[in-house]
Chain A
Amino acid sequence: MDTALKSLPKVKGRKRRIWTRSQRKTADFYLFVSPWILGFLLLIVVPLIVAILASLTNYDGLSLNTIRWVGFSNYERALTNIDVDVKFSFTRTVMWGLLNLPTWLAISFGMALILNQNLKARGLFRTIYYIPSIVPLVAAMTAWKVMLDKNVGWLNGFLSLFWPGTAIGWLSEHALTGMTIVAVWTGLGTAMVIFLAGLQNIPDELVEAARIDGANGLQIFRFITLPLMTPVIFLQLIMGLIGVFQQLNLPLVLTQVGISRGAVPPRQIYLFMYHVYRQMFVSNRWGYGIALILIMFVVVSILTFIVFWTEKYWVYSDTQGEGD
């Protein structure tokens, strides 16, 4: 090793003679990560500063000539119920999360549990469940339009076999349910594959030992499987939570593909980010829209911190247990 170091200064063009090995390593490291650091500064830090500044102006997205400082009035407008749709769309987003997150997690987890058994053809089923995850949202919405349409959709057609004349507006009055169906369909594969891998990491000896001690299936699930899976559930919950609050594509694509073009989405699925989108791209209130985005960012951060804080109460950590 030492001889290798000493031979380095002789290499032609090396002017790093005075550098120690660790300095050289540091320089190499920062050279390697420089694309990312540049990107971080120019594509994330600068935009965030621009966002904070823009939220204090009346920027209309068209011209910088008419721009002027308006102080905190955008935030005032957002938080004092002048714009009633803020509270409304926020409530809709919370409803969306309350319906979507547990449904998605429960179904994905359930299917992972079933696939984790020693059954034939489980590879085939895993592939089938994963396929919707690779379908772009525009195509998914197009396909689900055939299923969920109020008048000629297959779902209402199926329900009409039992309750003739069913005409549920899955894409209109009951869009919250309809969009949950679409979101669970597209999200099932990813979460299920992750849960399945987590389940396969649970040591067989643990389950065997419990079985020998006389534990039944439910007890094994309650006292071994579930606790050992909490770190995986925790991570999916965090990512899901962030997804819920930035959900914009679903209502946006729904109005483009599912119902008539350019329409406002049904009130049930008038989500916060969609309201923000309209403020900017329809009403040209960019300063205000960005203030709303930053408020959402703060809310999501607080919620994430709360979930992180609850971690110690319910998430299994192998530093305190007997884990491998």
Chain B
Amino acid sequence: MNYVLRTRLQKRVGNFFSYLIMILVAITVLVPFAGLLLTSIKQDSEYIVWPIILFPEIPQWINYVNAFLLIPLSRVAVRTAVLGIVVSILVTFSSSLVGFAFARYKVKGSRFLFFLVVSLMIIPVIVILIPQFIIYSYLHLTNSYWPWIFNAIAGNSFFIFLFRQFFLSFPKELEDAAEVDGASPFRIYWQIFLPNAKPVIAAVMVFAFQGVWSDYFMPLILLNDDKTLLSVKLASGYVNPQGFSLTTISMAANVMYIIPLVILFFLAQKHIIRGVVTSGLKG
């Protein structure tokens, strides 16, 4: 009895500390968002005062309007979104096709090729990106979106891996039956495997879209100001004619920049987390 009481007490105390840490960490994680939101409705003069004023005297919602007026924000956003959607469709298609082949075919060379796919995950991207840039500029493909398209068509190691892992779990009888019925291998992929891979498709499409939407380096080196994407535009666009940063307006723009990703995350949360876990546990 005494023993039971003691362990129960220990558990209570343990739980209390667990909750305390969880709440403290949650606050630390969320405070920067609060800072961003509150600053986005301040005047610049309210942002640069000490001691800090947490809440603006009058919320400056006009910052959200000005974010659109100072730079062609909506045009850049549409451009980024369209590129993101095109890339995510292409990369989903190619990666699922390649992943299907690796999951269902054991032929000469397939093991070696899959080893290559996985090893590419640990090659630093930058080692490839810079020489790619040289080639693109030689071919006059800089300041165009072709580099994104090419990379998407070639598929992505990480996505190929996700699709392969998923397709491995499909029963062999499924394709045997289809094959007996005379379905071509492509039809087996297109009509049996792909429609049943919705969780992975959702995750991969979100990851790919997020990649285009968030990436800073590729648009920075490849695109001029007239074609650039959101990340670069937001990092450099909000200055007044004297060259000083318009901090609070840029914060408003950044709030709007994050929102689509947050929505996407909540729509596909389960699939995203499963995708992250698959790659992290077995990669």
Q: Which A residues are closer than 8 A to B by beta carbons?
A: 1, 4, 7-8, 11, 22, 25-26, 28-30, 32-33, 35-40, 42-44, 46-48, 50-51, 54, 59, 61, 64, 111, 114-115, 117, 119, 122, 125, 127-132, 134-140, 142-147, 151-152, 154, 157, 160, 185, 188, 190-191, 193-194, 197-198, 201, 232, 235-236, 238-239, 242, 245-246, 248-249, 252-253, 256-257, 260-261, 273, 280-281, 286, 289-290, 293-294, 296-297, 300, 304
Stretch at the interface among B62-70, B103-111, B196-204: B103-111
In the bound complex, do residue B31 and residue A154 qualify as a contact, i.e. CB atoms below 8 Å apart?
yes
In the bound complex, do residue A232 and residue B32 qualify as a contact, i.e. CB atoms below 8 Å apart?
no
Q: Please, could you name 24 A-B residue pairs with CB atoms under 8 Å apart, sorted by A?
A: A32-B100, A32-B185, A36-B98, A39-B150, A39-B153, A39-B154, A46-B135, A47-B128, A51-B134, A64-B138, A117-B18, A136-B258, A138-B234, A142-B254, A144-B32, A151-B48, A151-B50, A185-B29, A194-B276, A197-B281, A235-B280, A248-B217, A261-B236, A300-B124
The 9 closest A-B pairs by CB, nearest first: A39-B154, A194-B280, A136-B214, A32-B101, A47-B131, A146-B35, A51-B131, A143-B36, A29-B105
Main secondary structure of the interface of A (DSSP, over half): helix
A52 to chain B minimum Cβ distance, whole angstroms, is 9
Given A54-B131, A304-B122: A36 and B234 interface contact (C-beta under 8 Å): no
Give the one of A39, A54, A122, A129 with max B CB within 10 A. Answer: A39
- Measured between beta carbons, the chain A residues less than 8 angstroms from B51 are 157, 160
- Measured between beta carbons, the chain A residues less than 8 angstroms from B117 are 36
- The answer to the question of B239 belonging to the interface, with a C-beta cut-off of 8 Å to chain A, is yes
Question: Which of B154, B216, B251 has a CB less than 8 Å from the CB of A136?
Answer: B216
In the bound complex, do residue B130 and residue A43 qualify as a contact, i.e. CB atoms below 8 Å apart?
no
In the bound complex, do residue A51 and residue B127 qualify as a contact, i.e. CB atoms below 8 Å apart?
yes
- The answer to the question of B49 belonging to the interface, with a C-beta cut-off of 8 Å to chain A, is yes
Question: Which of A36, A47, A117, A273 has a CB less than 8 Å from the CB of B160?
Answer: A36
B140 to chain A minimum Cβ distance, whole angstroms, is 13
In the bound complex, do residue A44 and residue B214 qualify as a contact, i.e. CB atoms below 8 Å apart?
no
A128 to B182, CA, bound (A): 50
- The answer to the question of B55 belonging to the interface, with a C-beta cut-off of 8 Å to chain A, is no
Question: Which of B50, B102, B262 has a CB less than 8 Å from the CB of A134?
Answer: B262
In the bound complex, do residue A139 and residue B258 qualify as a contact, i.e. CB atoms below 8 Å apart?
yes
Question: Which of A25, A134, A261, A293 has a CB less than 8 Å from the CB of B210?
Answer: A134
Q: Which B residues are closer than 8 A to A by beta carbons?
A: 14-15, 18-19, 21-22, 25-26, 29-33, 35-36, 39, 47-52, 94, 97-98, 100-102, 105, 107-110, 113, 116-117, 120, 122-128, 130-132, 134-135, 137-138, 150-151, 153-155, 160, 176, 179-180, 182, 185, 189, 210, 213-214, 216-217, 220-221, 231, 234-236, 239, 243, 245, 247, 250-251, 254, 257-258, 261-262, 264-265, 269, 273, 276-277, 280-281, 283
In the bound complex, do residue A238 and residue B122 qualify as a contact, i.e. CB atoms below 8 Å apart?
yes
In the bound complex, do residue A289 and residue B29 qualify as a contact, i.e. CB atoms below 8 Å apart?
no
- Measured between beta carbons, the chain B residues less than 8 angstroms from A188 are 29
- Measured between beta carbons, the chain A residues less than 8 angstroms from B231 are 136-138
A150 to chain B minimum Cβ distance, whole angstroms, is 11
A47 to B128, CA, bound (A): 6
B88 to chain A minimum Cβ distance, whole angstroms, is 15
Give the one of A64, A137, A138 with max B CB within 10 A. Answer: A138
Given A28-B105, A119-B15, A144-B32: A134 and B265 interface contact (C-beta under 8 Å): yes
A142 to B250, CA, bound (A): 8
- Measured between beta carbons, the chain A residues less than 8 angstroms from B262 are 131, 134
Question: Which of A35, A47, A50 has a CB less than 8 Å from the CB of B153?
Answer: A35
A151 to B251, CA, bound (A): 18
Given A129-B25, A185-B29: A135 and B127 interface contact (C-beta under 8 Å): no
A42 to B155, CA, bound (A): 13
A308 to chain B minimum Cβ distance, whole angstroms, is 10
Other than A48-B127, A131-B33, A252-B217, give 14 A-B pairs with Cβ distance below 8 A.
A28-B105, A36-B98, A36-B117, A51-B130, A130-B265, A131-B262, A131-B265, A134-B261, A138-B214, A144-B32, A154-B35, A185-B32, A232-B280, A273-B126
In the bound complex, do residue B124 and residue A296 qualify as a contact, i.e. CB atoms below 8 Å apart?
yes
